[in-house]
Amino acid sequence: MKVTGIKTHRITVQDNLFAILDQYLPKLEEKSVVCITSKIVSICEKRIIPTYCHCEEEAKRPTKQSASKEIPSSRRARGRNDNCEIDHKDDLIKQEAQFYLPRSLNKYNVSLTITKNVLAASAGIDESNGNGYYILWPKDVQKSANMIRSFLQKKLGLSHIGVVITDSKTTPLRWGVTGFSLAHSGFAAVNTYIGKKDLFGRAFEYEKVHIADSMSASAVSVMGEGAEQTPLAIIEEVPFVTFQNRNPLQKELDEIKIAKEDDIYAPLLVNVNWKRGKG
């Protein structure tokens, strides 16, 4: 497997994602995978909210049409206070997450959530490289991945091209973050070993390999987490990837997910007093 990072200019809300891809992607061979950090997808889709609380301004202009319309009206109506910015982020977390835990339960003052079926801190909301904005995950990240794949097929004239939209997350009991796939298109996300035999003839009962996550981890390592300004990566020479000349089926997307009750970590996940979010 060969992973190549691609440096770009500093991406802002004035940029168009497809123009970025058109400008920076080189000529690719069939059965290549393009990895894109979710952050630039979100920025180009204008999924950003100012980190400062502007509830006083919004209370004066309740009909103003802007990104701030995503902030609950109850939040806009409050007066400014010392914890205003924290409350502001908490409102966004409740808006984005399927389930969440109050930050007061956490030593690091971080809200743990389940968002888009991922165990994620702060519902994936990030301030790094946001320049005064919270960057949310793309609204419909699967739709974004499918649109990118369609664009690349036409631009590059390829039948088999994979797309992964990446982010990074923590792993319990381990320091550091690793990349994972928020959405993929153009290939099978999971390879199964179930029913196959190991070196000594023992049949696998549960073993699957998440190919999209595995490639994302490699890509994010190359793209970096700081000021590298490398939001794209190309992955080539991937004989273990089963490419598909189509978007993933809903059935295939559903098969990636595991309900809390069915997860191997169910004793931990189901015995938590999760609060229900709006995501």
- What pLDDT does 69 receive? 40
- What pLDDT does 86 receive? 63
Instruction: Work out the mean pLDDT of the chain and round it to a whole number.
Output: 91
The helix (H) or strand (E) run that includes residue 34 is strand 32-37
Residue with token string 């990072």: 5
DSSP 3-state of 191? strand
Do 8 and 230 meet the contact criterion of CB atoms below 8 Å apart? yes
pLDDT < 50 regions, the chain: 58-59, 62-82
Strands 112-115, 2-6: pairing is: unpaired
222: its two tokens = 């190359």
- What pLDDT does 87 receive? 79
- What pLDDT does 59 receive? 46
124: its two tokens = 């994936």
Which of 191, 184, 225, 224 minimizes the C-alpha distance to 208?
Answer: 191
Residue with token string 């490699």: 218
Residue 101, number of CB atoms within 10 A of its CB: 18
Residue with token string 């309740």: 62
**Helix (DSSP H) and strand (DSSP E) numbers for the chain:** 9, 13
What is the layout of strands, in order, in the sheet containing 112-115? 118-121, 112-115, 99-100, 275-276
Query: Which domains can be identified in the chain, with CATH numbers?
Result: 48-136+252-279 (3.90.1660)
What is the pTM (predicted TM-score) of this model?
0.89
| Residues near 141 by beta carbon (within 8 Å), at least 6 away in sequence | 38, 41, 116, 165, 182, 183
181: its two tokens = 């796939």
- What pLDDT does 53 receive? 64
78: its two tokens = 């409050």
CA atoms lying within 13 Å on the CB side of residue 252: 18
Distances (CA, A) of 131 to 106, 166, 268: 26, 20, 36
Do 189 and 210 meet the contact criterion of CB atoms below 8 Å apart? yes
